[in-house]
A and B are shown apart, each in its own frame.
Chain A
Amino acid sequence: MAGTALLGRLTWQLAELVEVVAETPHVKTIVFDVPGWPGHRAGQHVDVRLTAEDGYQAERSYSIASASDGTRVALTVQRLEDGEVSPYLTDELRPGDKIELRGPIGGYFVWEPSEGGPLMLVAGGSGIVPLMAMIRTRAAADDDTETRLLYSSRSQDDVIYSDELERLSGNGLTVVHTLTDSQPPGWTSYARRVDAEMLAEVTPAPAERPRFYVCGPTPFVEAVAESLVQLGHDPRAIKTERFGPTGG
């Protein structure tokens, strides 16, 4: 593996499932041990390959949720009702099972503490996953880069990493939630879809030159990126990653 890694070739590797964490009713984190894993940068993804007994194969890409940590790689997967791969990963896979995986992949939607900030993260639904890798990387490095996360979820039950985000808040990290569909009694934060007004309130001013990472479903990302440009932010400082139900 080391030799091929040197050449930059991403070979398929056997990954053993070691832990499953239920995050929300539809989302699980699956943690793999990948011998020879070269480490990764926050925001990168992996390809997963499943093979049926008759040789049929399906591949999908998933963002890495964890900070680089030895041979451990955590993926957070939303179960899509009519998906081909995600229901297998969330419902069928048991600790000790092995799947094929290759990565890390991607050199653009990535952040490292050395790049600095202020960092503005905007997540829609499971778009939080690669942004959580950034927050975890920041925490693991004891980095205090000014970081704000604006995180849109349907309801409180759909908020992924809820407790951990609360625990990591402070030391320069501010987390702002908006719940679009239903709110618990006494909810005092935002209760609508992310819009320009909300972004203006939560985001550092353009003069502070924030670096943006926006991830979520396509309409969410389109709307957020468009609003940020209209608010006067540099389009080149806005990195986006989109996904839809297609893919599952």
Chain B
Amino acid sequence: MTVVSRGFRGRRAADVNPARVPPGQYVTRDFPVLSAGPTPHTALRLWDFSIIGELDQPRVWTWEEFRALPSEEITRDIHCVTKWSKLDTVWRGVAVDTLLEGIETSAEYVTAYSDGGYTTNLPLEDVTGGKGWVVFAYEGQPLAPEHGGPARMLVPHYYFWKSAKWVRGLRLQSTDEPGFWETNGYHNYGDPWQEQRYSGD
């Protein structure tokens, strides 16, 4: 039932390949901030990262131990459900594959949990196989608190709310448990190319 909006021409970015922009998104060059509450500030000496849930022994890394893990540079396009997309963003972080090395689990889902109480759920296969990272740098600089520092998830093939800011751990689960936005009207998966913004999309 699409209707033409009389007199609307739009303002397409001439230098952007439309094939890189998912439906309903527009490309921005700045980096907007979105979060539901105050920005947490956890001192690095108190920060750790855990993998808990369905595994033999929980794993935990201090900041120093986490930073000593092999990391990689990741260049990806990111897509926020609030409609902006940002192309060729450059991150540095530790692959979830690296964190899960040597861990036996029957879990099929994972919940990322964060300082401030934020959670988001993902199928485990969507953060493994080179598809998910815990990142600590953006454009060569330590990740700023308002963008999720000291560390956040990066799962760029989903809308960006799945890339949990201020992440402190992953809980491996055999059942899917909707997280914060997923229980507040947003889609359980959030594939931007399917425009899975809201429940029922």
Contacts and interface: CB of A to CB of B under 8 A. Distances in A.
Contact of A7 (B4, B5, B84, B200): B200
Interface string A79-117: 000001000100010000111100001111100000000
Contacts of B58: none
A174 interface: no
Contacts of A238: 37-38
Contact of A51 (B4, B185, B200): B4
Interface residues of A, number: 47
B117 A49 contact: no
Contacts of B2: 12, 51, 57, 100
B38 A52 contact: no
The DSSP consensus for interface residues of chain B is: loop
Contacts of A10: 198-201
A81 to B, nearest CB: 12
A153 B181 CA distance: 30
Contacts, number: 120
Interface stretch (A118-126, A163-171, A218-226): A218-226
Interface stretch (B24-32, B48-56, B89-97): B24-32
A107 B37 contact: no
Given A10-B198, A246-B84, A240 B32 contact: no
A232 B183 CA distance: 28
Interface string A1-40: 0001001111010100000000000000000000000000
Contact of A9 (B8, B38, B146, B201): B201
Contacts of B36: 108-109, 239-240
Contacts of B82: 61, 247
A196 to B, nearest CB: 13
A238 B35 CA distance: 11
Interface string B1-34: 1111111111110000000000111101010111
Nearest to A7: B200
A244 B25 CA distance: 16
A240 B35 contact: yes
Contacts of A107: 183-185
Contacts of A229: 38
B116 interface: yes
Given A52-B10, A108-B36, 14 more contacts: A9-B200, A10-B199, A14-B3, A52-B4, A84-B26, A97-B5, A97-B6, A107-B184, A218-B33, A225-B39, A235-B38, A239-B37, A240-B36, A247-B82
B83 interface: yes
A244 B30 contact: yes
11 contacts: A4-B200, A7-B200, A50-B8, A56-B10, A58-B10, A59-B25, A60-B83, A88-B8, A100-B1, A235-B37, A236-B117
